Chain A
Amino acid sequence: MRALVSTGGRRWIPALALGVACGAQAAPGSDPIAWLQRAAEAARSTSYGGTFAHSNGERTSTVRITHVNVSGEEHERIEPLDGPPLEIVRKNDEMFCYFPDAKTVRLDRRVTPRFFPAILSPTPAAIASSYDVKLGQTERVLGFDCQWIRLDPKDNLRYAQRLCSEINTGLVIRAKTFNEQNQMIELYTFTDLKLGRDVAKGDVRSIFEARVKRWVTDAQPREEAKSVDTGWAVTNPPAGFEKVTELRRTLPGRPQPVSQIIYSDGLASLSVFIEPNAPPRMAESSSEDGTTTFFVHPMGESLVSVLGEVPLAAAQQVGRSVARRP
């Protein structure tokens, strides 16, 4: 019996390995959804390392990233290169955020893939219901041949995106977001990049951990990352936006946790925050910077704040339709 199972297994393993290898190698032809699928998969399954620049509205930042996949497990190290030192070391969804100045390591669980180049949800097929997806030009970017994927929104509740997918691996190595006036409002681009075997696996380890003798561990964010019933609901989310999760987060200066509901259309995401309206604010207010929209909607004794990479119209539609769950 044991021999039988084992023989069956042996037959399958090479076939699987070949299939995976082909999936990472072969470009998916002319189907734009297949390109999206491959780009989403590449951010998880391939190895890459380098530095990318991120411009969003008034802000610009540079980030060093190394990502490897060992036996199906993701290991990643992210280090913002601007401002006070910090690094995020991630194993699958477990995040360790080291703040050497505060000698504190913050534990958290990744709720949505929000870090470039992992900007697509694992099920990009749903994206096609909200965006017209087409293949654009092929172009040489950072020394790699790339296929541009064009995503144009079907309504005014999300932004147009252009993703530059490296042809051999599918990895998104440049991403641009455009507003309704066709102005670029956000840009992610690698400035140097290594792929596959060129990536040193040791680079995903923490470099700050050894610098501090006794780290204070703050595990509260990880506890808070668990889904809870906040008692609140968005009754009229924009078409295509699905609830990812809802939880309660401690924010600085608040005596009690704030309810957070996260929505995504597979590409853009937004968070709805609900907390006591104190000191009371009466008027709605909003601000936009690049793709980041912030909309505040006082609702009697509660204050609803929407923050996301969506146009103001979408944030308003969400914020104004928040209600207590019956």
Chain B
Amino acid sequence: MTQEISSLMDGEAPAHEAESAIRSCSASGEHKETWLIYHAIGDAMRGQTPRVLALPEAVIEALKAQPTVLAPRRRAIDSTFARVALAAAASVATLGVVGWLGSQGGQGDTSPVIAKSSSPIQPVSNTTILRENAPDVRDYLAAHRQQPSAELYRPVNNRAPAQAR
């Protein structure tokens, strides 16, 4: 069946084969996973952000088992952030934990980390992931240091500004 799914993806499956492949993807969890993984791999190989929104547990577990790839820190990152970031890394295919703290003063040099990764997942902007799931650390950093970044400043335009000088 994996061959048929592959053919279906490539648009090379004859009508009856395609129908059976689509049926099996809808009916079987295993075949659905195969479908998702093939798409993720295909997207990654084309250098695109994989569109898949829910990668199978197995991939997330495999990523979790390699914390040094994603988070070369002196201490393991705890609970939710690791889960959120890793899940996000798997689904949105981004660097996650490494970059999100570092993005305060620019993007940071995260490329070496990617280079070490054996995963075909490609990095995208590291600012998109945690925003909806966790507080954005950059807001707190700017408030703590009283050193607002230009990017962070943008929302001020939405406030009622005082008169021009």
Chain A residues in contact with chain B, CB under 8 A? 57-61, 80, 82-86, 88, 95, 97, 99, 101-102, 104-106, 108, 110-112, 114-115, 179, 181, 183, 214-220, 249-253, 258, 260, 262, 269-271, 273, 281, 283-289, 292, 294, 296, 303, 305, 307-308, 312
Question: Which chain A residue shows the least CB distance to B101?
Answer: A289
Minimal beta-carbon separation of B85 from chain A (angstroms) = 9
Chain B residues in contact with chain A, CB under 8 A? 73-75, 77-82, 84, 97-102, 104-106, 108-110, 134-137, 139-141, 143-157, 159, 161-165
Minimal beta-carbon separation of B135 from chain A (angstroms) = 6
Please, which residues of chain B bring their CB within 8 A of the CB of A251? 139-140, 143
Task: Judge whether B146 and A114 touch: CB under 8 Å.
Answer: yes
Please, which residues of chain A bring their CB within 8 A of the CB of B106? 59, 61, 82-83
- Prevailing SS type, chain B contact patch: helix
Could you tell me the distance between the alpha carbons of A287 and B136 in the complex, rounded to whole angstroms?
12
**With contacts A104-B156, A217-B161, A271-B140 known, is A111 near B146, CB below 8 A?**
yes
Could you tell me the distance between the alpha carbons of A230 and B53 in the complex, rounded to whole angstroms?
41
Please, which residues of chain B bring their CB within 8 A of the CB of A58? 98-99, 101-102, 108-110
Further pairs besides A99-B153, A214-B164: 12, Cβ < 8 Å: A57-B102, A61-B106, A86-B150, A102-B154, A114-B146, A217-B165, A250-B159, A251-B143, A281-B134, A287-B77, A296-B80, A296-B81
Could you tell me the distance between the alpha carbons of A110 and B144 in the complex, rounded to whole angstroms?
11
Please, which residues of chain A bring their CB within 8 A of the CB of B143? 249, 251, 258, 260, 271, 273
Determine which of A86, A88, A179, A220 lies in contact with B74 in the assembled complex, contact meaning CB atoms within 8 Å. A179
